[in-house]
Amino acid sequence: MNAFTANASLVLYPVEPSWVPENLEALIKFLQETGLAGDALHQDENSFSVGENFLEHISFMGCSPSIKFNNENDDDKFTFIRLTLTPTITALTGSHSFAPHCPHCKKAEKNWREHLKDHRLHCGHCRQTSEAWQYNWRKSAGFGRCFIEITDIYPKEAIPQPSLLQALENRFHIAWKYFFYYP
Ligand SMILES: [Zn+2]
């Protein structure tokens, strides 16, 4: 999906893949009020600098994260917030997506790239077909129409605090989860 950066990202998304907020402004308002997102970046109205409470909402695993919060080198290798709403359900799978585990037999479907059609995935072990998002991708792929992307975060470098996911649920009345997108 070309709206996404070529760098790895941490992506928050709702558990119901067809869900979108009542309007994009409501989501922007929420993110700015919680301090996850700050001001809009001038080149893209759906991108925002990190907000004043960013490090309260996103927990970094290392003791000294080497993240950059501004665009000093004039490239896109810095951490900012990008919102993407899509008209239909979008599959964000990438080169690092793990073989997903079937919801029925729990076995890994190694040939998922060939078997994934119209967001449905046939299991070569138990021969059942399920929606792709019913598989367990172990946080390496996501399906939806609404994505909150935190750019330039490498897989497992950082995770959202449970309180942030809870605040999203309280505001939008749907649970949220996250994955790492690595195109
Ligand atoms: Zn199966």
Question: What pLDDT does 114 receive?
Answer: 93
| Interval 142-152 mean pLDDT | 96
The SS3 call for residue 39 is strand
> Measured in angstroms, how far is the CA atom of residue 147 from the centroid of ligand 1?
28
Handedness of CA 84, 88, 93, 99 (dihedral sign): positive
- Residue 22 or 44, more confident: 22
Band (pLDDT 50/70/90 cuts) for residue 74 is: low
What percent of the chain lies above the pLDDT cut of 70? 92
Q: How far apart are CA 126 and CA 128, in angstroms?
A: 6
Residue 127 in any domain: the answer is no
Question: What pLDDT does 170 receive?
Answer: 98
Residue 31 in any domain: the answer is yes
Residue 106 in any domain: the answer is no
pLDDT digits (tens, 9 = 90+) for 25-66: 999 999 999 999 999 997 777 999 999 999 999 999 876 566
Band (pLDDT 50/70/90 cuts) for residue 154 is: confident
> Measured in angstroms, how far is the CA atom of residue 183 from the centroid of ligand 1?
26
Q: DSSP strand E in 61-141: where?
A: 81-92, 116-117, 120-122, 129-131
Question: What pLDDT does 49 receive?
Answer: 94
Residue 26 in any domain: the answer is yes
Band (pLDDT 50/70/90 cuts) for residue 135 is: very high
Kindly tell me if the per-residue pLDDT of 179 is higher than 70: yes
Q: Output DSSP code: residue 116.
A: E
Expressed as residue numbers, the domain containing 172 is: 12-38+50-59+135-183
The angle that helices 24-34 and 162-172 make with each other, rounded to 10 degrees, is 140
Residue 142 in any domain: the answer is yes
Q: How far apart are CA 146 and CA 12, in angstroms?
A: 9
> Measured in angstroms, how far is the CA atom of residue 110 from the centroid of ligand 1?
11
Number of domains in the chain: 1
> Measured in angstroms, how far is the CA atom of residue 130 from the centroid of ligand 1?
9
Residue 77 in any domain: the answer is no
- Residues 6 or more apart whose CB falls under 8 angstroms from that of 84 comprise 1, 3, 4, 46, 146, 147, 149
> Measured in angstroms, how far is the CA atom of residue 126 from the centroid of ligand 1?
4
Kindly tell me if the per-residue pLDDT of 84 is higher than 90: yes
Q: How far apart are CA 76 and CA 95, in angstroms?
A: 20
Q: How far apart are CA 78 and CA 114, in angstroms?
A: 34
Question: What pLDDT does 53 receive?
Answer: 96
Contact 131, 120 (CB under 8 A): yes
- Residue 78 or 51, more confident: 51
- Mean predicted lDDT score pLDDT of the chain: 91
> Measured in angstroms, how far is the CA atom of residue 143 from the centroid of ligand 1?
19
pLDDT digits (tens, 9 = 90+) for 115-134: 999 999 999 999 999 999 99
Residue 152 in any domain: the answer is yes
Question: What pLDDT does 45 receive?
Answer: 78
The SS3 call for residue 80 is coil
Residue 100 in any domain: the answer is no
